[in-house]
Structure 1
């Protein structure tokens, strides 16, 4: 259902990715400005950001997946719906986890490991109806890197602005 919706509105997928990035950044900026020492709120938002990851990657589907993994690497383009959706998938969880921990590199590495684990589970359990694909891992890692970089930048800017006001 989600994939069909995305394919039917392929032109909106890049816009949705930009909105996810902007929404996370704006929310993070406000959190850091209003509550600079609060780690619980971004932590809770990071956990909420994991819900779509689990729902879209590990819940069973009615179809049966291939027994092998697809090994390929494609670059995202505005029309590549699935690739862009995979870029966006880990963004909220990684962004807010990086704000909560103030360790964007560690969060990035954990996200790449989590994405690899998801692909391994999909490969090991074909009954889920999910296909293991190296493109998914690469695009999830790309989105996680974007989110970690945005979180680091947002944190640095908020700290700099706060320091200037003091």
Structure 2
């Protein structure tokens, strides 16, 4: 598993070579980081984790919506409107793109749990956001809808929520 995580780095770097994606990630991260700061002030959340969650949300949205339809989605001989709306495939963490989808929501969910201290709400919102992203990608021509991506994002989100809950629990124990 650790080898898979480290093996993901070249895929991430290759993805960020696309100036559209790199720009979307940076712009989204900056704007939503500022939004995280403002939300923390308004709702009484922890500021540092709120900013980190905002930046992470910007990275998620920037990476998923600031690109064009991937080359691999244009299969020879297949007319785009004949493609299924959503490809039904199962969970897999084998491969760079698959592991990116497992890791994509991890920082967002982890920092959001620390910011708002509502583990189940954050986990549920992350799973819902993943579903919305997958459904919007084919409608905006910014990617493919795949159940595997949804499952991978959701698995990463649940692990990150559990890790955030553990950090909150350790903090409560340490403050006694």
**Is 1:131–2:144 an aligned residue pair?**
yes
Which of these residues, 119, 122, 131, is aligned with residue 116 of structure 1?
Answer: 131
**CA deviation map 1:8-30 (0-9, x unaligned):** xxx8641378xxxxxxxxxxxxx
The 2-side partners of 1:62 and 1:121 are apart by 12
Instruction: Evaluate the alpha carbon distance shift between residue 75 and residue 56 of structure 1 in structure 2; reply closer, same or farther with a 3 A threshold.
Output: same
TM-score with structure 2 length normalisation? Answer: 0.67
Q: Which residue of 1 aligns with 2:57?
A: 50
The 1-side partners of 2:170 and 2:96 are apart by 32
What root-mean-square deviation, in Å, do the aligned CA atoms of Structure 1 and Structure 2 show?
2.3
Structure 1's consecutive aligned runs of 4 or more residues displaced over 2 angstroms after TM superposition are 62-68
TM-score with structure 1 length normalisation? Answer: 0.70
The 1-side partners of 2:91 and 2:161 are apart by 22
Unpaired segments of 5 or more residues in structure 2?
A: 9-43, 74-79
Could you tell me how far 1:133 is from its partner in structure 2? Answer: 0.6
- Considering Cα pairs closer than 8 Å and 6+ residues apart, tell me whether 1 or 2 has the greater RCO: 1
Could you tell me how far 1:52 is from its partner in structure 2? Answer: 1.6
Q: Which residue of 2 aligns with 1:15?
A: 6
Unpaired segments of 5 or more residues in structure 1?
A: 1-10, 18-36
> Are the equivalent residues in 2 in contact too, given 1:92–1:147 (CA < 8 A)?
yes
